A = this chain, B = another copy of it.
């Protein structure tokens, strides 16, 4: 594959450029019989839509999804589901001048090196709008998983240097006290998708300052997946954590990824880092969850916890040094409608990539034992 397809069983192929006719995705391998309509997908796209706060680009992107195939009488048919969002806000003038030079921190230079030229309008294929296809496909994955008892909690853990004080496990403990859906609602209503109001307030102050300085910020997205049965993930190269790492790292601007204790585990001792196992209400449980729900690449039944680091938005109004296509040193200052931070809008993208990874490995696991085959074919 040439890099536009993800997944082996539940497989998405995305296409489209920022300022082309549209952005789309073909979802192949979706099981037949899932109730599906456009609003199931639209509510996920709305979570990545800009303009929901003053910390995202004021561009208006309606981003209405259309189902073109694969659904009949309200249910998936097992054949490919083609989803498209036609582009509407295509003011090419905003971007025309970037044809001639390479923006620092963007893929302009590398696309030209690779392909000889590039669709420079709005970043072309390397625009953040490319994630529309991921989210549209991921929304279906989330719906399938929800029918198998699996839930996602995804939020901004850090905005620039402002980090929420709670560990993922604390949020989860809180959520398990019958407040799961209210925590989800709280996150979705927060302008930065943070689970903690005090941190969100501080983060907004930080962003105000960034904007005054014509600068931008990064941050950390954290996710918790609950309800995953033990046994998901393949033991060598297609480990659950390895596939998650690839999935999340394939989102533009991601520079780091962790599972469970992550980098902190590197400095810990085995006696601290190992999660003890004990029986609780007849089921195996873990005393702690430094493993983040994965042992040897295979889910152990505990919540899966992970984090992704996003770099600051590279488009800033401050003056920067770069080169032009004629290979001359120049100074530039990028104007236009850019997000001072992409982390809040990236939250749903991270969740969708995690869901795509998980549903794919759950389908892979259908072939793990003779017992599974016999259950189906006898």
Q: In chain A, residues 84-140, which have Cβ atoms closer than 8 Å to a Cβ of chain B?
A: 84, 102, 104-107, 109-111, 113-119, 121, 124-126, 130
Is residue A231 contacting chain B, with contact meaning CB distance below 8 A? yes
CB of A4 within 8 A of CB of B28, answer: yes
With A1-B8, A369-B78 already in contact, the answer to whether A115 and B33 are too (CB < 8 A) is yes
Q: For A235, what are the chain B residues with a Cβ–Cβ distance below 8 Å?
A: 3, 79, 107, 111, 114, 125-126
Is residue A174 contacting chain B, with contact meaning CB distance below 8 A? no
Q: For A113, what are the chain B residues with a Cβ–Cβ distance below 8 Å?
A: 230-231, 298, 300-301
Q: For A23, what are the chain B residues with a Cβ–Cβ distance below 8 Å?
A: 69
Pick from B115, B148, B242, B252: contact of A78, CB under 8 Å: B115
Q: In chain A, residues 290-339, which have Cβ atoms closer than 8 Å to a Cβ of chain B?
A: 290-292, 294-301, 309-316, 318, 320-323, 327-329
Q: For A276, what are the chain B residues with a Cβ–Cβ distance below 8 Å?
A: 104, 320-322
Pick from B26, B232, B266, B274: contact of A219, CB under 8 Å: B266
Q: For A79, what are the chain B residues with a Cβ–Cβ distance below 8 Å?
A: 4, 15, 17, 119, 124-125, 235
Pick from B1, B114, B295, B298: contact of A230, CB under 8 Å: B114
Bound complex: CA of A213 vs CA of B309, how far in Å?
35
Pick from B33, B73, B295, B329: contact of A106, CB under 8 Å: B295
Interface size for A (C-beta < 8 A) is 171
Bound complex: CA of A298 vs CA of B24, how far in Å?
22
Which residue in chain B gives the minimum CB-CB distance to A371?
B33
Stretch at the interface among A41-49, A191-199, A243-251: A243-251
CB of A110 within 8 A of CB of B298, answer: yes
CB of A255 within 8 A of CB of B256, answer: no
A266-281 interface bits toward B, Cβ cutoff 8 Å, 1 = contact, 0 = none: 1111111111111100
Bound complex: CA of A275 vs CA of B109, how far in Å?
12
Q: For A13, what are the chain B residues with a Cβ–Cβ distance below 8 Å?
A: 5, 13, 26, 28, 80
Q: For A323, what are the chain B residues with a Cβ–Cβ distance below 8 Å?
A: 277-279, 284
CB of A367 within 8 A of CB of B2, answer: yes
Q: For A375, what are the chain B residues with a Cβ–Cβ distance below 8 Å?
A: 375-376
Shortest Cβ distance from A53 into chain B, in angstroms? 18
Is residue A370 contacting chain B, with contact meaning CB distance below 8 A? yes
Residue contacts A-B, CB under 8 angstroms, 24 given: A2-B238, A4-B26, A15-B28, A15-B69, A16-B82, A26-B26, A32-B115, A34-B370, A72-B124, A77-B117, A78-B369, A107-B295, A107-B296, A110-B296, A113-B298, A147-B370, A160-B266, A218-B266, A218-B273, A246-B246, A256-B262, A274-B314, A279-B328, A372-B376
CB of B327 within 8 A of CB of A270, answer: no
CB of B1 within 8 A of CB of A313, answer: no
Which residue in chain B gives the minimum CB-CB distance to A221?
B266
Is residue A164 contacting chain B, with contact meaning CB distance below 8 A? no
Is residue A183 contacting chain B, with contact meaning CB distance below 8 A? no
Q: For A255, what are the chain B residues with a Cβ–Cβ distance below 8 Å?
A: 241, 258-263, 265-266, 292
Bound complex: CA of A153 vs CA of B70, how far in Å?
35
Is residue A75 contacting chain B, with contact meaning CB distance below 8 A? yes
CB of A237 within 8 A of CB of B78, answer: no
Bound complex: CA of A321 vs CA of B287, how far in Å?
9
Bound complex: CA of A257 vs CA of B314, how far in Å?
22
